[in-house]
Amino acid sequence: MGGRKIAAVENQSWRAFEKLTQQIQAELAPEAEIRLGEKLVGKSGVSHQCDVVVRSQVGQLPFVCVFECNDHAEPVGLDIVRSFVARIRDLQVHQGVIVASRGFTVNAKRFARSEGVLTYTLIDAESAKWREQALVPVLIMRIDFQSATIHLIDETDRSEIPLRGNSNKTILIEVRNKRTGEILPLHTLMQYRWDDVIAAKHIPRSTEIFDSAPGEYELNDSSRRNVIVRFAFEPLERFYFSHVPIAFGRGFREEQSGTIMSSGYESVVLDLHAAMAEWPEVDPTTLAVKPEITFFAFGCMARESNSPRHVVFGWKQRRPTSR
C-alpha cells in the first residue's frame, strides 16, 4: 500500500512538472498550440507518448517540436538522451527538447548538442522544489585607475614642455584654471580628468589621449604660459563571475550556453562591493557560460578624501529569448 502511495505522489509531481513546462513554453510562444500528453505516430508505425508537443507556423510552413520532461533527482544522463534522439528520429519532427529539473551530465549535453537536441533546465523561483536551479550567471567588470602619462603642451607653438625631475616632483607642477582661478597640481588635475572620463561612462584605453581645452590652463609660474594638459590613462580591468538567485519569475535555462529564456524575471538585490570581495576573479574569454547580466563598476578618485570609491554607472542584460 505504501509503495502505491509513493508511486502516486511521484506521478503527481511528474505531471506538475510537465504542466509547468507547458505553461512556461506558452508564455514564451503565446501564438503556438501547446498540448500535454499527446501520442504521435512515427515513420515506423510505432505510437510514441510525448510529454509536450508544440505546433506553430514559421512563415507559411508548419513547425512541430516535442518536449521530453525529466523531473529526476539526478542530472539527466546519456542513456535518456540517446532514447529521446531515437524517438525524435522516428517521429521526424523539426525540434526535440529535453527539460530537466536537475540539469544534465557532461556527456549527455555533448551528445545532445551533436544531435541537435536542446537541453533545458526548468527554473521557477516561486517553487520550493525547482527554486534550487533558479540562478542567473552574472559578470562584474571592475575598472580601476592604474597609471597615467602626463604631457604639457605649449598652446602657442604646440611644442612639448620638458618635465624635469622624477615623477614625484613632476606631478606637483601647478597649473591655474584661467576661468576660476583655481590652482591645481598635475596629480589632482589627473584625478579630476579620470573622474570626468568615467562619469561619461567611458572606459579609457591606453591609446586614447585626453587633452584639456585650449585656453583653459596656464602654468602657475613666472612664465604664465598657456598650456594644454594631455593625459593618457592605463586602466586596470578585473572581472568577477558567479550565479545569483532569481527572486521572482520562471523559465528555462539553455544548458549549452547558459541563456535564460523567460517572459520576465527579477534577481535578488546584489551587493556589488561584497561580490567583488567574495566572487572569484575570472578571465571572461574563458567562461563556459555567458553572463546574462554584466555590471560595470568604475573606480573613481575621491576628490574629498584619499580613498577611492566604486560607482556603478551601468549594467546590461542579455535579452530573454525563446527559440
Pairing of β 135-154 and β 293-300: parallel
DSSP symbols for 11-54: HHHHHHHHHHHHHHHHHH-TTSEEEEEEEEE-TTS-EEEEEEEE
d(CA 200, CA 248): 33
CA distances from residue 240 to 274, 277, 319 in whole angstroms, order as listed = 11, 9, 21
Low-confidence ranges of the chain (pLDDT < 50): 2-9, 320-323
d(CA 250, CA 261): 9
Predicted pLDDT at 130: 65
Predicted pLDDT at 235: 93
Predicted pLDDT at 321: 46
For 34, phi then psi, to 5°, come to: -125, 120
Question: Domains of the chain by range and CATH?
Answer: 2-133 (3.40.1350.10), 137-245+267-323 (no CATH)
Prediction pTM value? 0.67
Three-state SS at 296? strand
Q: By the 8 A CB rule, do 242 and 111 touch?
A: no
